[in-house]
Amino acid sequence: MKKRKFGNSKMKISQLGLGCMGMSEFYDTQDESESIKVIHYAIENGINFFDTADMYGVGENEKLVGKALIGKRGQVYIATKFGVLRGEDGSFLGNSGKPEYVKKACDNSLKRLKVDYIDLYYQHRVDPNTPIEETIGALSELVKKGKIRYIGLSEASEEIIKKASKVHPITAVQTEYSLWSHDLEAVFPICRELNIALVPYSPLGRGFLSGKYKSLKDFEKGDFRSSNPRFNKENFKKNLEIIKKVEEIAISKSVTPAQIALAWVLSKGTDIFPLTGTKKIKYLKENMESVDVKLKKDEIEKLDTLYNLVSGSRY
């Protein structure tokens, strides 16, 4: 898999990264040994960018990633996040970007990941009660101390990105982006102006765009998607029309809907590094093959219009 310069950093990142969130929480059941096999398969086949966060599984996902990458640190880049507060029982307690919290969170992530430094450290969600300049200032100190190499933002607006960049260079911005979530496009201009890498998460629309879910009965009990607006009974039925149109193009090219969805994201620029989130090698292999799917201009334009058919908000 091709490696590309990652924004304003010195890192060369694979075209696709592996998002590890679902390996510990939110999506169906979890299997640690299987997840580790997926991570190892990814490395063996050219993926060198792994994404986690301290809130996934209340720290358990970082532990999983750390365990999987023992002996492989020199082959990979690790991205993790701070800022979403959770109780030991998994309850959500708000966001924090306070300098003292940033430093403590970083130390905790380093311990769970069992590494000496984090390649890319994101603020997971902006704290409305802490000036972004203070948060980035704390992160800048962590860079100077060698605890992190680069700074990222997740779900940040153009205004926040501009303010943050005046304190320290921002290397990446992560936001949900797919055929049915165009939010990231709002910051394309500022990110490209400042040479900031774009990292889409959920490029398959939380799995919906794979075409594997045709009924609400396909989701296991406890799957958080069942409470997501786009997956409620009324919206789900309407959104199936999107899948039908993706499948038409997929059939014409003898590929899968998931590969079409990923190819569309990749078509938006060489500065885009989608995170594929899967717990099974067969789906990871399928996703990786999407880098070889070439879409024609008229196909891209047709796929662009599907956003107009989306029913329901993201959250």
Residues identified as active-site: 56
Give CB contacts under 8 A, 24+ apart, made by 294-299: 294/263, 295/249, 295/260, 295/263, 295/264, 295/267, 299/249
Chain centroid, CA 254 distance in Å: 27
- Enter the tokens of residue 144: 């100077």
Rg (CA), the chain: 19
Q: Are 112 and 81 in contact (CB under 8 A)?
A: no
Contacts of 195 (CB under 8 A, 6+ apart): 7, 8
Report the C-alpha gap between 78 and 101 in whole angstroms: 21
Q: What burial class does residue 197 get, using C-beta atoms within 10 Å of its C-beta: 0-12 exposed, 13-18 middle, 19+ buried? A: buried
